Amino acid sequence: MVSSFDQTMKFKRVAEEEEYQAKDVFSVVYGALKEKGYNPLNQIVGYLLSGDPAYITSHQNARVLIRKLERDELLEELVASYLKQLEKQG
């Protein structure tokens, strides 16, 4: 008799990984920083420049959330948003 450990087993994901959008991440992180009395602009810029997650509060799980996306993805979202605002003004 063959035991189940001798057979190839297929791993099945229970739930798909949640996809995070940069704008949603920024919204949560901004709110958490504001609630804790930090200057969100300074803290987010510090994180983006250094990569040090200590710039982001753990309040509302903001630190874990911001690390779900690469810093270059976050920067790309910021620049794209800024450029869209410039187009609207021009």
In-domain check, residue 42 = yes
The answer to whether residue 61 sits within a structural domain is yes
- Reported as a single tens digit per residue, the pLDDT across 29-60 is 999 999 999 999 999 999 999 999 999 999 99
Structural domain including 41 reads: 20-89
Residue 2 lies inside a defined structural domain of this protein: no
Q: What is the pLDDT of residue 67?
A: 97
Could you give the count of Cα atoms lying within 13 Å of 39 in the half-sphere of its Cβ?
Answer: 4
Kindly state whether residue 71 falls inside one of the protein's structural domains.
yes
* Distances 44 to 2, 19, 30, 32, 88 between C-alpha atoms, Å: 56, 21, 8, 11, 25
The total number of structural domains in the chain stands at 1
Q: In this structure, is residue 55 part of a structural domain?
A: yes
13, part of any domain: no
pTM of the entire structure?
Answer: 0.76
